Structure 1
């Protein structure tokens, strides 16, 4: 998936959760990504955000601490 499309999707999730109570927003974004994004998408999310969080809504950036980072598996594992 292109980085722009992934960024767009993450920001759309944040837009949806912006209507929720403030205490539930970050947890909601992280929970949605953990449940519905496959490990490849989450890996790509971290590859992008480890370089820069530019273009991501602050709620997405805050939720990254709660998103499960997929384990990297080497070719011999």
Structure 2
């Protein structure tokens, strides 16, 4: 599954691709899935796409630099909506 994400994000600049992979893993993978991937990376990452290894190379996953499509109330104002 992680390698499929790398295939998807390969069209992005490298920094955005790594951030997109890390963001997706942090947002949608269970703690167990992330732990399993981290163990695989620490064991050498054999079979993992280099983008995945770089995105999750043992470092803590932090805030993604990729901009979100929607904004919170602080961005759209009181009673505002980000609905299109």
2: CA distance, partners of 1:47 / 1:62? 14
Using structure 2 for the length normalisation, give the TM-score. Answer: 0.63
Gaps of 5+ in 2: 63-84
2: CA distance, partners of 1:23 / 1:51? 24
Partner of 1:41: 33
Partner of 2:21: 29
RMSD across aligned positions (CA): 1.6
Structure 1 residue runs of 4+, over 2 Å off?
Answer: 65-68
2: CA distance, partners of 1:19 / 1:11? 14
Partner of 2:50: 58
Using structure 1 for the length normalisation, give the TM-score. Answer: 0.68
> May I ask how many residue pairs the two structures share in their alignment?
60
